[in-house]
Structure 1
Amino acid sequence: MNEDVKAFIDALRQGERPKSPQTLQSYERDLLQMTAYLRGEGVDRAEDVQKHQLSLYFNRLREQGRAAATVARQMVAVRSFFHGLVASGRIPSNPAIGLEAPKPDKRKAEALEPEEIERLLAAPDAASDAGMRDAAMMETLYATGMRVSELVALDLEHVRLELGIIRCVDARGRERIIPVGGAAADALTAYLERVRPQLAKAGGQALFLNLQGGRITRQGLWKILKQAARDAGIERELTPHSLRQAFAAHLLRNGADLRSVQEMMGHAGLQATLQYAQPAKARINDVYRQAHPRAGRHT
């Protein structure tokens, strides 16, 4: 496909409305990056490229922490490239048509403070089966940094409390081992011993069950989180991402290294993890002024 990219760039350079050298360099860099990814996935020919492969590629860029504007620019280059191949008769249709461009980046909400997390995790009614289950789910989310989709996909075999670990498999089938202990392990033990046997009416291996005995859904868990936030008096808006965000921000704030947090969160690159380090970095000056013996002696 690299030869197709070269021919496309040459056509743009010699066209009636030639692109600037900077734009051509940007297009070529973006397209070669795409072809390298596809080659790694076993796709070497333009005619073999499928829409879902391009979708996975752009999702990967987002996971790496690329700005929405950068991803949108690459999407324009890719769409134009395949459009040119269709126009020249090389391929029958454009696989990039219909890909959803990323929305502009919004200012990220600050992570919940530890005191807010404590209130949130204490909100479920510990005397009820549903409350014990809800506490176990929220404790596990905060203790592991898993995505909501990953949590609801957990089966019994993924949890090894005697080893202090949870085996998590993401949407792409990539596995990671996450430590779990303390309050989350206690909540999980109570749920597994006292609640799940009462809910498991239809068998199955799902870890977290709804009151009808089926696997709990993302929507069901999200409703539980929103209700817990209301009960805890947390007025700011929560999202399904809030506990994952707090997990990373609090670890980094307390001195965890980026590589370890990256591995636990399942990020493909450090850039995606770095976004959670910003609140921690903002506190460095305050810590320095408070802790260094001579920090206040500036004249």
Structure 2
Amino acid sequence: MAKAPVIEEKQLRHMLKVAAVTGESPTRDVALLYVLYGTGMMLTEVATITVRDYLREDGSIREESTIRAAIAHRSKERPVFWVNPKVVSALDAYLATRVNLRHGVTVRKAAFRGLDPDGPLFRRADGEPYVLTARESSSGALSYSCDSLSQVFRRLHLQSGIRGGHALAARRTFAVRLHRKGYDLRHISALLGHGTLTATKKLIDSDPVKLADLVSGVI
């Protein structure tokens, strides 16, 4: 299976601009892109993280949170950090839209910004939660996917002229960008929830960095 593409900064900026003016839920789509490309989370994790995973009861942001084992890749708990200003700004704009549309709100307006803390952080355009699909392998092992959210992700790439933008593109791009900045495999692996450094190395290998970019920044 071919590796997912690495989405370069110029491509991502264009995709965000297009997402902001198209689709049924532009603020959600922009937030989705920022979260996926800014945290390295899996689509199934994004579909199942809750408002409580992002917000404290008083409405402030949990700068350091946890992707719980029950929803995490490989069922292994790992940290997630809500500290990137662009990611946080996009998420806050989306949650404000949710409140205005009354998607997953409660009567406790002062708690969790009026949103159901145990409900999903991301919802469909109609306000309903995303649903995971279980698949059983020949060995009897179960795996999960979120086809509806995957379709959103593919659409966001296709409408921007980016081919092959499937679910792992953001995750690989996240890893490659960290590696380009000089961060070691151990830290990148911890953020991705990989079981071995080899898995992280495979994700980063064949980085399509342009030789001209290397020379342009050498001095």
Q: Would you call these one fold, judging by a TM-score over 0.5? A: yes
User: Which of 88, 99, 123 is the aligned partner of 2:18?
Assistant: 123
Using the TM superposition, give the Cα deviation of residue 245 of structure 1 relative to its aligned residue in structure 2, in angstroms.
Answer: 1.1
Secondary structure (helix, strand or coil) at the match of 1:123 reads: helix
The two structures have a TM-score, normalised by structure 2, of 0.72
| Paired residue type of 1:220 | S
Asked if the contact 2:99–2:105 (Cα under 8 Å) also holds between the matched residues in 1, the reply is: no
Gaps of 5+ in 1: 1-105, 293-299
Residue 120 to residue 285, structure 1, CA distance change in 2 (3 Å): closer
- 8 A Cα contact 2:5 2:169, kept in partner: no
Aligned to 1:14: none
2:121 is equivalent to residue 226 of structure 1: no
Q: How far apart are 1:216 and its partner, in Å?
A: 2.1
Query: Cα 1:139–1:220, aligned 2, differ >3 Å: closer, same or farther?
Result: same
- What does 1:260-279 correspond to in 2, within 5 Å? 260-279=187-206
Structure 1 letter corresponding to 2:104: A
C-alpha RMSD of the superposition: 2.9
Q: Determine which of 177, 188, 212 is the counterpart of 2:91.
A: 188
Q: Structure 1 residues 107 and 220 mapped into 2: Cα distance closer, same or farther (>3 Å)?
A: closer
CA distance in 1, matches of 2:172, 2:192: 10
1:256 match: 183
- Percent same amino acid among aligned pairs? 23
Larger-Rg structure: 1
One-letter code aligned to 2:41: M
Deviation at 1:258, TM superposition (A): 1.3
Cα deviation digits, residues 84-130 of structure 1 (max 9, x gap): xxxxxxxxxxxxxxxxxxxxxx3424412221122222222358871
Kindly state the Cα deviation for residue 205 of structure 1 after the two structures are TM-superposed: 1.3
- The one-letter code sitting in structure 2 at the alignment partner of 1:190 is A
Provide the TM-score with structure 1 as the length reference. Answer: 0.54
d(CA) in 2 for partners of 1:268, 1:188: 29
1:290: how far off?
A: 7.1
Deviation at 1:150, TM superposition (A): 0.7
State how 1:153-168 maps to structure 2 within 5 Å.
153-160=48-55, 162-168=61-67
Residue 211 of structure 1 and its aligned partner are, at CA, apart by: 2.8
| Contact 1:252-1:258 within 8 A present in 2 as well | yes
Of 144, 168, 185, the match for 2:39:
144
Q: Secondary structure at the match of 1:291?
A: coil
Q: Does 1:206 align with 2:120?
A: yes
Once residues 226 and 107 of structure 1 are traced to their aligned partners in structure 2, the CA distance between those partners, rounded to angstroms, is 16
Is it true that 1:178 corresponds to 2:80 in the alignment?
yes
Contact 1:159 1:167 in 2 (8 A): no
By percentage of residues, which structure has more helix? 1
Distance 2:206 2:37 in 1: 17
> Are the counterparts in 1 of residues 36 and 42 from structure 2 also a CA contact under 8 Å?
yes
- Specify the code of the residue in structure 2 equivalent to 1:242: A
Structure 2 portions without partners, runs of 5+: 107-115, 132-145
- The residue identity in structure 2 corresponding to 1:251 is L
1:133 positional shift: 1.0
User: How far does the alpha carbon of each residue in 1:208-249 deviate from its partner, in whole angstroms, 9 at most, with x for none?
Assistant: 111332212422211212221122122x22211111111111
How far is 1:194 from its partner? 2.5
